[in-house]
């Protein structure tokens, strides 16, 4: 306890004693007041119910948003995984990026389906 704290503590005790002499306080109340005033450590911050609920809702919203973004991408990557290793040669250059050749693959598949239908007739 610093010198200034001790001085303030002593001044507070004197003020309480003066008040106690003017007003008849119940026994032990002065000590309780002194105990309360000597508690100098701040209480840890706690979230109130409303604030905790807001944080929970924000977290849930981010989770749902993340799922809406990730799920379609995962489906697309799984559907393209079947064609892993496929490539197209355009202008003498090999192109094997599935995202870029996806339309070429779907066009080739539709042409194959049409050829199969014609062969059945």
Q: pLDDT per residue over 63-79, tens digit each?
A: 999 888 888 777 766 66
What is the domain extent for residue 66?
44-81
8 Å CB contact between 70 and 55: no
Do 91 and 76 reside in the same domain of the chain?
Answer: no
8 Å CB contact between 15 and 34: no
Do 60 and 91 reside in the same domain of the chain?
Answer: no
Token pair of 79 as six digits? 């559907």
Q: Which of 106 and 114 is assigned the larger pLDDT?
A: 114
* Section 52-58 average pLDDT: 89
Do 76 and 93 reside in the same domain of the chain?
Answer: no
Residue identified by tokens 């070429």 is 104
8 Å CB contact between 94 and 87: yes
Do 88 and 118 reside in the same domain of the chain?
Answer: yes
Residue positions counted in the chain: 121
């Amino acid at each position: 306890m610093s010198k200034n704290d001790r001085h303030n503590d002593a001044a507070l005790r004197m003020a309480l004693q003066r008040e106690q002499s003017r007003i008849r306080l119940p026994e032990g109340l002065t000590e309780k007041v002194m105990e309360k005033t000597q508690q100098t450590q701040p209480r840890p911050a706690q979230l109130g119910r409303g604030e905790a609920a807001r944080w929970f809702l924000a977290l849930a919203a981010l989770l749902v948003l993340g799922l809406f973004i990730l799920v379609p991408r995962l489906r697309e990557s799984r559907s393209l995984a079947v064609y892993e290793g496929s490539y197209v040669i355009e202008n003498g250059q090999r192109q094997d990026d599935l995202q870029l050749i996806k339309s070429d693959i779907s066009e080739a598949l539709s042409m194959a389906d049409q050829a199969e239908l014609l062969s059945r007739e």
